[in-house]
Amino acid sequence: MISAAELILTNRGSIYHLDLTPDEIADTIFTVGDPARVGNVSKYFDTVDVQRAHREFVTHTGTLRGKRVSVVSTGIGPDNIDIVFTELDALVNIDFNTRKPNEHHRALNLIRIGTSGSLQRDIDVDSFVASEAAIGIDNLMFFYDYKSDNVGLVDDFNHHLLDRIGTKAYHYEGDKTLMQQYGAHCHQGITVTCPGFYGPQGRKLRVGPKDPTFIDRLQEWRHNGHRVTNFEMETSGIYGMARLLGHRALSLSAIVANRPAGTFSKDGVATVDKLIRATLEKF
């Protein structure tokens, strides 16, 4: 049995942070960072029959073209991904009555619809990126028994970019089937996931980053034809947790900033809405 201190349930039998019961979630789940964006997705559903909100975690579940579908807000950062993906997995793969894993594993389709900054001049603001793979410079997966997908790529990335900062990276690929379904209309490449928005992404307001050349070197880095297309704050955690838990995941990003060009979208809300509609059309 999984103890009450590890699998935490509410009085109504819902999982602790998400406040969801197993019957309130679908097999295909779109994730968004901003709780306010949940309604911007579910307004395109045909029906919405579940609406839950607890802390920054908002969930709407309903139907789209006759199929059950959910959208969940994760909040910002890999630490929140650890909570959301662990609890989504528990909802479909643990019996809350016996507190034991189910005999048969249930795999979810998890598609992030988020925002991101481009690291390449040719990937303009208001375009889209589908992450073929993610490099995490956060520390989430180091607390699990993990193994990076491409050890050689990670070693090269660490040596050329992270050794002087004193940290290291991990690497996971997105689901190729979901990529074919949802990502064909997007730029594709490697996404770097950062543990913060300012210093870890090379921004300087009053306090600057330890390595002021990091963003420039990130733009220039290449490994066997691979390059970093963009960076944000969730994708590596999504890909890593999905891999460990046996789910399929893909991250889609609306580009709202181009760091080499120093530009920002004039209407990021409209760009995100365009990505939402394009994604749901492929469901």
- What domains does the chain contain, in order, with CATH numbers? 1-106 (3.40.50.1580), 114-233+244-283 (3.40.50.1580)
Confidence of residue 266 (pLDDT cuts 50, 70, 90): very high
Mean pLDDT across the stretch 131-147? 96
Instruction: State residue 78 phi and psi, 5-degree precision.
Output: -60, -30
Mean pLDDT taken over the chain: 97
In this predicted structure, what is the pLDDT of residue 14? Answer: 98
Secondary structure (H, E, C), 75-139: CCCHHHHHHHHHHHHHHHHEECCCCEECCCCCCCEEEEEEEEEECCCCCCCCCEEEEEEEEECCC
Confidence of residue 92 (pLDDT cuts 50, 70, 90): very high
In this predicted structure, what is the pLDDT of residue 56? Answer: 95
pTM over 0.85: yes
In this predicted structure, what is the pLDDT of residue 95? Answer: 98
Give the β-pairing of 94-95 and 67-73: unpaired
Confidence of residue 151 (pLDDT cuts 50, 70, 90): very high
Token pair of 167 as six digits? 């940290």
In this predicted structure, what is the pLDDT of residue 23? Answer: 97
Mean pLDDT across the stretch 243-261? 97
In this predicted structure, what is the pLDDT of residue 109? Answer: 98
